[in-house]
A and B are shown apart, each in its own frame.
Chain A
Amino acid sequence: MNAPMSDREKALMGMGESRLRKEDARFIQGKGNYVDDIKLPGMVHMDIVRSPVAHARIKKINKEAALKVPGVIAVLTAEDLKPLKLHWMPTLAGDVAAVLADEKVHFQMQEVAVVIAEDRYAAADGVEAVEVEYEELPVVVDPFEALKPGAPVLREDLAGKTEGAHGKRYHHNHIFTWDAGDKEATDAAFASAPVTVKQDMFYPRVHPCPLETCGSVASFDPVRGELTTWMTSQAPHVVRTVVSMLSGIPESKVRIISPDIGGGFGNKVGIYPGYVCSIVASIVLGRPVKWVEDRIENLSSTAFARDYHMTGELAATANGKILALRTNVIADHGAFDACADPTKFPAGMFHICSGSYDIPAAYCKVDGVYTNKAPGGVAYRCSFRVTEAVYLVERMVDVLAQKLGMDKAEIRAKNFIRKEQFPYTSAFGFEYDSGDYQTALDKVLKAVDYKGLRAEQAAKRADPNCPTLMGIGLVTFTEVVGAGPSKMCDILGVGMFDSCEIRVHPTGSAIARMGTISQGQAHQTTYAQIIATELGISSEVIQVEEGDTSTAPYGLGTYGSRSTPVAGAAIALAARKIHAKAKKIAAHLLEVSEADLEWEIDRFKVKGNDAKFKTMKDIAWAAYNQPPAGLEPGLEAVHYYDPPNFTFPFGIYLCVVDIDKGTGETKIRRFYALDDCGTRINPMIIEGQIHGGLTEGFAVAMGQLLSFDKQGNIQGNTLMDYFLPTAVETPKWETDYTVTPSPHHPIGAKGVAESPHVGSIPTFTSAMVDAFAHLGVTHFNMPHTAYRVWQELKKNGVAAN
């Protein structure tokens, strides 16, 4: 009881400790519980018949041969879903998406029919046996072509609708136009600015490709009238609400369970046709139905990321002070707009594109377009289009620096929002919470010897026989995470709060549940750490659970790095409610007034009398054993947190590349990443998030691409081509940090998990383009594969034989 203070604090393994993970024990012994591990009595398997073509009318579907395949139980098509009005489903973007193709298919690999069978082998045989006749239609894969007057009509279901979920539609393939900022002031600034630069850039379509694909086990119990569905969902409560509304089953009789999830990365936010079909099949058959997609299906039909065609412009003074930013985007959303976003933001938080800079005037406009491709857009650590926003502004600042002959670091320092300007309101209306960009930049430049690197680069450029090109990339980014304030942000009408419920047991351990859901980010460990420090209970005995809608409080899920900002805040405040009650109980037990008590790590003690105290463990027992008059027995609390603002973590990333002039192959010589996410809950976990995010960034910038040919065939949609780096390709990462807490957050913590992805991608491009900067190159598009870089070498006359 009377261990020294430092020992007691250490024993909590709370805030700031790099404590080892509570999740690991089960995962390292193969005792995780992922969707495909689930086995229920009578469970059958579902597989999907998919479209071989990108755009076609369905003439006929013949089930007969499939129904004769041994083990096949049923084949369902849109005809079977129509009576339930489930052949189409609503999306998070306010559009609808086909569950099973009705009159026509809109993209290759689209869901056309499902086969239910006794096992997955028989289901696959059944899929082979389903015969579908198609009448092919002209295909649209280029969003610029899609908007031409004579372009084929993709969405016949929207015929005559000139108003979409996000305003006017000016063309049958146009989804929305969204803009932000002050157009007039921006145009005026550009008209009078001494220097302007303009650059087109394409952020290619890529895919989050979690190692575990999407899947579900739906189990409708016809006796109880209850539906239970295990699902790879990053937002199970939202799914429950939607499933209840669509199925007519009361929400109290729908239970969605996200068990262990093998990575989400934004891929598992939305509802896919496979989930819906497994639920319908279970209702129809009265048996549990399992659906687990394969990799090719995952890459081809679930939420892609990016696909923004961007034109950026900066206006500036001759000495590099930015006066205005203007940007125009054509967004390729595929066949249905299923882009995961708060409902009022069809282009997400793209208007964070003024970046870390004090830019007086800014305007952005985004036009969404339908094409014959899978739906998606927001996924893969994008924080709702912040990837695109940061790429845009960071590329543009480089272009401006190049035009002015200014140093990349110097121009950024010149335009930084100063430390004392926070909270800072951007030209787009975001109120950045806190930041100290200059200190962090200085730290990075010093750590890598930036001046020395530039000198080396100059020497290499001067030597015509140097076999490599050297490039230095620098990005200084600001993220916006923690959606979000309910007055601005909602998902299908539900405000984007989150929640936590903590119960302290009589013997002093606790169970806590939140409305978020980890997919590897270690919430079971870190959430316990927050509570440990707040309540003086060891994180070891604080059991954290998420993902079961019948037990966890309602929350909006985990994506947009919102867990720490929103649920993290709810956790601290729920704990503080318990803390306040504990103080009342302690005062009662010690027979003093609350004002005479002070909190010390794990106990309330009487001021000036170290011997008189009650630990949280004592108090927990008393709460059940002898609650003071006027207080309820027990010791627990719930808090639903509606955040007052987002959190705005930032980072300074620097990358050095060496490009082989003979082959176009690039070696990442060095990558230095400084992240500031405010108060750090568990540095070990943060570092793991950074390593993973930087590796994704490396993959996106250097090799990943989902492309389509003119017939609408998706290309590179398996691991034969889709670039996932192994340990051999992945660079070694150097990480660093500063601490600039969020003033509005209960523990000063900001989100961070998407920062490394958001920030690293433009850093790689910055380094690659920088290698060619002395040749007058201002930009080239990702991915920077050896072949494409070699083309660039040839084009600029520097390819070696």
Chain B
Amino acid sequence: MSKHIVSMNLNGRKMEEAIEPRTLLIHFLREKMNLTGAHIGCETSHCGACTVDIDNKSVKSCTHLAVQCDGSEVKTVEGLANAGVLHAVQDGFYKEHGLQCGFCTPGMLMRAYRFLQDNPNPTEEQVRIGMAGNLCRCTGYQNIVKAVLHAAKTLQQQEKVAA
């Protein structure tokens, strides 16, 4: 199968790679880029374990072709922490025990990262709806909701300090 050259900005770094057009973004990230944080939990696009951020949108990368990302800005869980400092969503999940096996976590974090930019001050119900594309088998979601609310608070404080 003929290959296509794809270039993208991945976690702030330019990269270029020749890939088959049928390559799903999730496999491209995991197998070609060795960014194995994003996971695969289904093949019907329900679980959201593969969620990454493409051009400021949460996208299930199992339902997106890598070639479609040519010229895009793509962020994965590996790109969340900045110079060793955890992002507020990562810290929130840690502090509120929002993960157990950790398999849904990268997708949850990437979704929460985008959700809190779209809705910086959500209610609990809005968090539950906003995170509904992400399945978790361990936590029962309750602590994930707390984690996202925790992160929202931190981000607001960070903004205040910056302002």
A interface residue numbers (CB < 8 A to B):
20-21, 23-32, 34, 36-37, 39, 70, 119-121, 209-213, 260-263, 265, 294-296, 519-522, 684-685, 687-688, 690-696, 718-720, 724, 726-728, 730, 732-733
Contacts and interface: CB of A to CB of B under 8 A. Distances in A.
Name the residue among B23, B30, B36, B43 with the largest chain A CB count within 10 angstroms. B36
B97 interface: yes
A694 B103 contact: no
B103 to A, nearest CB: 3
A211 B109 contact: no
Contact of B139 (A23, A26, A31, A688): A688
A727 B93 CA distance: 15
A719 B60 CA distance: 15
Contacts of B102: 23-24, 26-28, 32, 260, 262, 520
B131 A727 contact: yes
Interface in B1-54: 1, 20, 22-23, 27, 30-31, 34-44, 46-47, 49
Given A30-B37, A520-B138, A688 B101 contact: no
Given A29-B80, A261-B101, A263-B101, A210 B42 contact: no
Nearest to A71: B1
B61 interface: no
Contact of B27 (A120, A262, A690): A120
A119 B139 CA distance: 34
Interface in B116-144: 127-129, 131-144
Contact of B128 (A27, A519, A728): A728
A128 B41 CA distance: 22
9 contacts: A24-B99, A31-B37, A210-B101, A262-B103, A521-B100, A688-B100, A692-B137, A718-B43, A733-B142
Interface of B: 1, 20, 22-23, 27, 30-31, 34-44, 46-47, 49, 76-78, 80-81, 86, 90, 93-95, 97, 99-106, 109, 127-129, 131-145
A29 B94 contact: no
A733 B140 contact: yes
B44 A295 contact: yes
Taking chain B's interface residues, is the majority helix, strand, or loop, or is none over half, making it mixed?
A: loop
Given A24-B93, A688-B97, A263 B36 contact: no
Contacts of A718: 42-44
| 10 residue pairs, one from A and one from B, having the closest CB atoms | A30-B37, A27-B102, A262-B103, A520-B101, A691-B140, A520-B100, A695-B140, A37-B36, A30-B77, A719-B46
Nearest to B38: A30
Contact of B141 (A522, A695, A696): A695
B43 A211 contact: no
B132 A30 contact: no
A56 to B, nearest CB: 25
A358 B136 CA distance: 39
Contacts, number: 179
A726 B143 CA distance: 13
Nearest to B130: A727
Given A295-B41, A719-B47, A727-B128, A34 B103 contact: yes
A294 B43 contact: yes
B138 A27 contact: no
Nearest to B34: A39
Contacts of A724: 46-47, 135, 137
B140 A726 contact: no
B135 A27 contact: no
Given A211-B101, A688-B100, A695-B139, 8 more contacts: A24-B99, A25-B94, A687-B97, A692-B139, A692-B140, A696-B137, A718-B44, A726-B134
Given A28-B94, A28-B109, A209 B137 contact: yes
B145 A727 contact: yes
A210 B128 CA distance: 21
A32 B35 CA distance: 11
Nearest to B104: A211
Given A691-B142, A726-B134, A28 B99 contact: yes
A517 to B, nearest CB: 12
A295 B100 contact: no
A753 B86 CA distance: 30
Contacts of A684: 97
Contacts of A70: 1
A29 B78 contact: yes
B140 A28 contact: no
A645 to B, nearest CB: 28
A294 to B, nearest CB: 5
Contacts of A294: 42-43
A455 B27 CA distance: 57
Contact of A726 (B41, B80, B135, B138): B135
A211 B35 contact: no
B100 A29 contact: no
Contacts of B94: 20-21, 24-25, 28
